Amino acid sequence: MKKIKLLIVFIIFFLFLWALRPSFIRASWSCTNNGVTCCPTSQWDGVTCWGQTYPGKCNGSCSGVCPSPPFGGGGIKMDDGCTWVWQAETPTCTYGEWIPQASCGNGCSPTQRFYTRTYSPSNCSPVGQTSGCFEAAECAAPPCDPNNWGGWSACSASCGGGTQSRTNACGTTQTQSCNTQPCYSCTVSLTPDPASIQTESAVGLIASVTIGSGSVDYVSFSSANSSVASVSPSSDSSPVYSTVATGVNQGTTTATAAVVMGGAIRCTDTSTVSVIPPGPWWQVKDADVITNGSLISLIPGSCSGSCSPLFILNGGGGYPGVALYGGTYDFSASTTSQGTGLVSSTNWLANSIYLGRTYDYSYFARQIAADVPLTEINQSSASCDGSGCTVNGGFFNSGGTPKRGYTWYHFNGSLGDLTISGNVNLNGSRKVMLLVEGANLNITGRINIAQPGNGFFMVAVGKKVDGTKGDILVDPSVSHPNQPALEGIYFADGKFKTGAGSDRLYVRGAVTAWGGMVLQRDLGVNNSNTPAEFFEYAPELRLSFPREFSRSGIVWREVAP
């Protein structure tokens, strides 16, 4: 009886546990025999095999029908070789609505939102998405403005035709042509380079343009420092392209030529322009100037006011002399002009050579009459050494043997060169004629005529037989601030050299040098308004000229029959 009660209690407890099993779990037992799965013939839980055997071989190695599945889960190995496996069935998922979780974009495209949805029961296996990005009406872009264009892109070419594009708000792209103008290329050379000019003088600058392609609009010119040198005109559109640089102050600047083609600068070149102090120049008053060579005196542009910018000044009669040349001429420090208008007040200028008599030492020596006594300058009257003789300038102030109003002196070059040391001052009617034969004459002092028209001085210097010597050499120290340093008439078969001094040489009289004039003075900054050499014709000397030199070579004398 007690055993029956215990059995009844156990059954009731088992039924209680059975009632507490999860209602959502659907499962069945299956028997596996030698790898073949079959179901029991009895319906264990009312939902599975329905009494069918698959595929009917579950009994193949088992005796009888597979034993009833045990209570509980898991697989149990039976003595007859059958294994029971508990198979739980997965429930079907039920899904909720899609719910947005974020604003537009936010990890999705701008027109989408991120959505999620729930499902139940929790142990079901969901099929399909439970989250993702989906198009949302509220995220749709507003309508685009087709007239809202972006900027044009850079042109694909700088010349010769290129393309550029732009895009509007709707994504439409436009393309157009750009920089269709021809491509330009050139080279330019600005000459002279370097260029040197004096203050207030000018130099012409020429831009030689070589065109690769295109055509020249114009060439512009500029100076890096216009306080040193200015340029004008500032542009030139007519070949040859040129400008003029004018010196303003001493210094150096850079002139630039820029070639403009198609409205833009295509090539450039520069020239270094140096403005230097005015160079030395010379001037003549009331005299003709004759040379078979070139006639050059570069009058600076700074000569103005008390400085007369003319090569030949008017004499007392109101007229200048005539300038005659056989080569070329130039009277302007500016390289842009030869100074044709600077010759004189009348601009008397002739391209003509001298073909007349040569008045050299031999001519004058032949003209001296036999009865004219010559005072020899030698060891007895001068200080002589192996190179020549030196006589004091006062030696000529008095003494000698006058003849027809003139005192005649002679020096023979066999003793070397002759030097006049100190000043020669001829007073009253003292007239001196000096003949230097086959030597050079060095003048180291002033030679002055105290009473022009009464006194007279003339020297003729001849060459040696071999053609050497015959020069008149003026010492650089020979000068005077405002009076003539040399007066008289000077003839040289060779050259007349003024001496490389820094003081002005003022000669009043006449100078003839068949070997050429060598003008060596340089006044430095004073070149701007003062000629380094100044020659003034003295007409009264023509009246005092010895008659012996004006007559013919025949001397008529009365002789006894």
Reduced to 3 states (helix: H, G, I; strand: E, B; else coil), residue 125 is coil
Which pLDDT belongs to residue 207? 98
Q: Are 529 and 305 in contact (CB under 8 A)?
A: yes
As assigned by CATH, the class of the 185-276 domain is mainly beta
Q: What distance in Å separates the CA atoms of residue 22 and residue 512, rounded to the nearest whole number?
A: 150
Q: Residue 78 class from Cβ within 10 Å (0-12 exposed, 13-18 middle, 19+ buried)?
A: middle
Q: Which residue, among 431, 225, 465, 479, has the nearest Cα to 361 in the 3D structure? A: 465
Q: What distance in Å separates the CA atoms of residue 253 and residue 226, rounded to the nearest whole number?
A: 8
Q: Residue 316 class from Cβ within 10 Å (0-12 exposed, 13-18 middle, 19+ buried)?
A: exposed
Which pLDDT belongs to residue 57? 37
Which run of H or E residues covers position 185? strand 185-191
Ranges of each domain in the chain: 185-276, 282-351, 361-549
- Backbone torsions φ then ψ of 36, nearest 5 degrees: -110, 125
Radius of gyration of the chain from Cα atoms?
A: 64
Q: What distance in Å separates the CA atoms of residue 408 and residue 417, rounded to the nearest whole number?
A: 18
Q: Residue 238 class from Cβ within 10 Å (0-12 exposed, 13-18 middle, 19+ buried)?
A: exposed
Neighbour tally for 36: CB within 10 Å? 14
Which pLDDT belongs to residue 183? 87
- List Cβ neighbours of 407 (8 Å cut-off, separation of 6 or more): 375, 396, 399, 400, 401, 430, 431, 432, 433
Question: Which sign, positive or negative, has the C-alpha torsion 299, 304, 307, 311?
Answer: positive
Which pLDDT belongs to residue 460? 98
Q: What distance in Å separates the CA atoms of residue 157 and residue 164, rounded to the nearest whole number?
A: 9
Q: What distance in Å separates the CA atoms of residue 405 and residue 426, rounded to the nearest whole number?
A: 13
Q: What distance in Å separates the CA atoms of residue 240 and residue 221, rounded to the nearest whole number?
A: 13
Q: Which residue, among 84, 89, 70, 79, has the nearest Cα to 39 in the 3D structure? A: 84
Which pLDDT belongs to residue 340? 87
Which pLDDT belongs to residue 48? 36
Task: For residue 352, give the amino acid letter.
Answer: S
Question: Which sign, positive or negative, has the C-alpha torsion 415, 417, 423, 427?
Answer: positive
pLDDT in tens for each of the 561 residues of the chain? 544 554 444 444 444 444 444 333 334 445 554 444 554 434 333 333 333 333 433 444 333 344 455 444 333 333 344 455 545 566 788 888 888 887 887 888 888 888 888 888 877 878 777 888 888 877 877 778 889 999 999 999 888 889 999 999 888 999 999 988 788 899 999 999 999 998 888 999 999 999 998 899 999 999 999 999 999 999 999 999 999 999 999 999 999 999 999 899 999 999 999 999 899 999 999 999 999 999 999 999 889 899 999 999 999 999 999 999 999 999 998 878 888 899 999 999 999 999 999 999 999 999 998 999 999 999 999 999 989 999 999 999 999 999 999 999 999 999 999 999 999 999 999 999 999 999 999 999 999 999 999 999 999 999 999 999 999 999 999 999 999 999 999 999 999 999 999 999 999 999 999 999 999 999 998 999 999 999 999 999 988 999 888 765 555 556 555
- Backbone torsions φ then ψ of 68, nearest 5 degrees: -60, 140
Which run of H or E residues covers position 272? strand 264-276
Instruction: List 214's β-bridge partners, or say none.
Output: none
